[in-house]
Amino acid sequence: MRVFVTGGTGHSGTHIIPELIAAGHEVTGLARSDTAAAAVSALGAKVRRGSLEDLDGLKEAAADSDGVIHVAHRQDLLPAGGIDAVTAAEVPVIHAYGEALAGTGKPLVAAGSIASSSFGKLGRPATEEDPALPAGQEYSGTLRFRNAVELAVIGLAERGVWSSIVRFPTIAHDTTDTAGFLPGLIALAKAKGFAAYPGDGANLWNAVHISDIATLFRLALEKGPAGSYWHAVEDEGIAFRDIAEAIGSRLGLPTVSVPVDALMLPGYFGMFTNLVTMNLPASSLITRQALGWEPAQPKLLADLDNGHYFSEIRISVAHQ
């Protein structure tokens, strides 16, 4: 297949492109700058110069392809315009793909978020059948832009697009992860002098290796039914306390419980405060059964034990 990929130079994209090429697909990656173009080319893909603002260019690229994988996001809009600005920019991108792909039966696979499907309030592991956000909360909270994008993508199935969503886990880990939650928590522990967890630390987080996410995108592209959600999860629920203890052990620091208190919790976790108390277990059973997806890379705690997360360079980058 001729596959058009956006976000090809990001954390997931740099794994998705090689995964597709290894499976025999011809990949073209969107590149906004000379640096991005060089990076896409180095991955073995063709380069299409352009940007997410150029909707006509995106429509043309989609029409010229046999399928689209969209993992780029307008995070650059967050500082000035916030979540609503991101939503206003990203939903038209999905609609542009829809105009190009309507009635073709071609696949469009886009990124979503498992956190948005559970928000820690289900009382059970989130499944692929759960809505993007709970009823009554569709347009609230910081994940509402993910919800809007997910609904726009899935809605294209009614227009003859083989559209689906791959929901990312709370932690997508590997040797190149410098900007995710895990490097941030490690940098916090080093700066504070101890690793920490909220309360008893029994709340659960989900995770998977980024290479396994890339495999899932390929499978969804190749054989995923239209209008489907897929969960990129191997570790369905790791106690936050276990994550903190693994971080403390590798850094040679004590691991401490921080009371779930309006002053003490933000005093340690800062921008992560709301997230670290969430209970986010998630299942990938439907994904595995439907697509035959089986994660093959190390699980989260094993990846932490490998030690690559604890280099001085990576901790410094995460703390910036």
Does the pTM exceed 0.85? Answer: yes
Domain boundaries of the chain, sorted by first residue: 2-170+208-234, 178-206+236-282+298-319
User: Residue 58 and residue 62: Cα distance in Å, rounded?
Assistant: 6
Res 316 pLDDT > 70: no
Give me the DSSP letters along 178-212.
Answer: SSSHHHHHHHHHHHHTSEEEETT---EEEEEEHHH
pLDDT at 170: 93
Q: So what's the architecture of 2-170+208-234 in CATH?
A: 3-Layer(aba) Sandwich (3.40)
Q: Per-residue pLDDT tens for 38-61?
A: 999 999 999 999 999 999 999 999
> What dihedral do alpha carbons 174, 83, 164, 96 form, nearest 10°?
-120
pLDDT at 148: 84
pLDDT at 313: 45
Q: Per-residue pLDDT tens for 128-172?
A: 998 876 666 665 555 676 788 899 999 999 999 999 999 999 999
Q: Per-residue pLDDT tens for 277-307?
A: 989 999 999 999 999 999 999 999 999 998 8
